Amino acid sequence: MGCQTDQELLGIIEQVKPLAARGKVADYIPALQAADQSNVSAAVFHITRGRDACVSAGDIEQKFTLQSISKVIVLALALIDQGYTNVFQKVGMEPTGDPYNSMIKLETSSHSKPLNPMINAGALAVTSMVRGDSPDERWRRILHFVQCLLGGKAIGYNKEVADSEYKTTDLNRSLCYFMKQHGVIDGDVDELIDVYTKQCAIEMNCLDLSRIAAVFANNGRDPQSGNILIDEEIARICKTFMVTCGMYNASGEFAIKVGIPAKSGVSGGIMAVVPGKLGIGIFSPALDERGNSIAGAEILKIMAKKYHFSIF
Ligand code: DON
């Protein structure tokens, strides 16, 4: 399916471009440093417009890795695989107000349960719950699920980014060892880190991301085939987490100023969902101090105002 350039979206991108110079590309995963700080692209996928569903602007061919955006998708898969009770026995539902890789609440929360599935500790626990007889099968099921959300498109992952994170992610390893000691996860930590770093390195462009967002906007139904890909109730849970925890410890401010369920990643991607209407995929790698794309968040703020997209 083609994707027409949209002049209004292009205008918004031109407006926010100067902001990108103020942010900083993530460098704690060494391979992410290579990103071009000036890049900005966005795509919108309408759930009811058939062949004209998609509009975009900017460097639409530019691929990026999902990073934390994968947390929403893998949560959906774990809920499909294990059900509500099993998943939420191990992971909570409350925002933390702390950075995404923080350890502090693990020690103070009851049963050492990670507070929610959008922080690294919670996401690692969720990834460990994906069904599969081996880490490799779990990984293949995650990738296959993402491909299903893309209407069967054969996307892959960026091995350099995955390897780079695998080699350096001792903080995530420490979260896992802590949770293993306290019975939140079991199994081999390095094997879990391997699946998690690959899931974070799944690579696509913002048009692809807008299509995944559109599935959530459409209550879990594929906007093109009409097939149910995610149970409506699971899609609802995922969107709610996007509101309460999707922009990390900036989620409260984002809900007030923008009011669109959204999930960011340190690569500079943002997936945003306007329920019943459309999905949005954005890429711009320069981040603010809390790890959200500076220009990306501003695009959503402008769109929310202009098109009355706030859900509140
Ligand atoms: O685990 C990590 O630190 C990264 N793979 C993902 C973190 C992330 O995207 C947080 N985003 N703001």
pLDDT digits (tens, 9 = 90+) for 39-48: 999 999 999 8
Please give the DSSP secondary-structure letter assigned to residue 101.
Answer: T
ipTM: 0.93
Question: In the chain, what is the straight-line distance between the N-terminal and C-terminal CA atoms, in Å?
Answer: 32
Mutate to test the pocket of ligand 1, among 28, 70, 100 (most ligand atoms within 8 A of CB): 100
User: Which of 304, 47, 2, 278 has its CA nearest to residue 296?
Assistant: 304
User: Which of 26, 292, 28, 285 has its CA nearest to residue 165?
Assistant: 28
CA distance 306 to 295: 16
User: Which of 200, 250, 232 has its CA nearest to residue 69?
Assistant: 200
Task: Give CA torsion, residues 233, 235, 236, 242, to 10 deg.
Answer: 150
CA distance 46 to 55: 9
Could you tell me the distance, in angstroms and rounded to a whole number, from the CA of residue 218 to the centre of ligand 1? 26
Q: What per-residue confidence (pLDDT) applies to 99?
A: 78
| Cβ neighbours of residue 246 closer than 8 Å, sequence gap 6 or more | 72, 118, 254, 261, 262, 263, 264
Q: Residue for token digits 């949560």?
A: 75
pLDDT tens-digit series, residues 20-70:
989 999 998 998 999 999 999 999 999 987 777 899 999 888 999 999 999
pLDDT band at 1 (very low <50, low <70, confident <90, very high): low
Could you tell me the distance, in angstroms and rounded to a whole number, from the CA of residue 67 to the centre of ligand 1? 5
Other beta carbons within 10 Å of 143: 17
| Annotated binding residues for substrate | 68, 120, 165, 172, 196, 248, 266
Ligand 1 site, residue 291, Cβ cutoff 6 A = yes
Q: What per-residue confidence (pLDDT) applies to 213?
A: 98
Question: Hey, is 221 helix, strand or coil?
Answer: strand
Could you tell me the distance, in angstroms and rounded to a whole number, from the CA of residue 119 to the centre of ligand 1? 8
pLDDT band at 263 (very low <50, low <70, confident <90, very high): very high
CATH class in words for 4-65+206-224+239-307:
alpha beta
Question: Hey, is 222 helix, strand or coil?
Answer: coil
Q: What per-residue confidence (pLDDT) applies to 230?
A: 98
User: Which of 296, 303, 301, 306 has its CA nearest to residue 256?
Assistant: 301
Catalytic residue positions, numbered: 68, 71, 196, 248, 266
| Cβ neighbours of residue 87 closer than 8 Å, sequence gap 6 or more | 75, 78, 79, 117, 126, 129
Ligand 1 site, residue 283, Cβ cutoff 6 A = no
Instruction: Give pTM, 2 decimals.
Output: 0.96
Q: Where in the chain is the domain with CATH 1.10.1500.10?
A: 68-200
Mutate to test the pocket of ligand 1, among 101, 160, 172, 203 (most ligand atoms within 8 A of CB): 101
User: Which of 199, 193, 291 has its CA nearest to residue 245?
Assistant: 291
Q: Residue for token digits 């719950």?
A: 129
The answer regarding whether domain 68-200 maps to CATH 1.10.1500.10 reads yes
User: Which of 235, 196, 203 has its CA nearest to residue 216?
Assistant: 235
Atom in ligand 1 nearest the alpha carbon of residue 248? 12
| Annotated binding residues | 68, 120, 165, 172, 196, 248, 266
Q: Where in the chain is the domain with CATH 3.40.710.10?
A: 4-65+206-224+239-307
208 with 280: CB under 8 angstroms? no
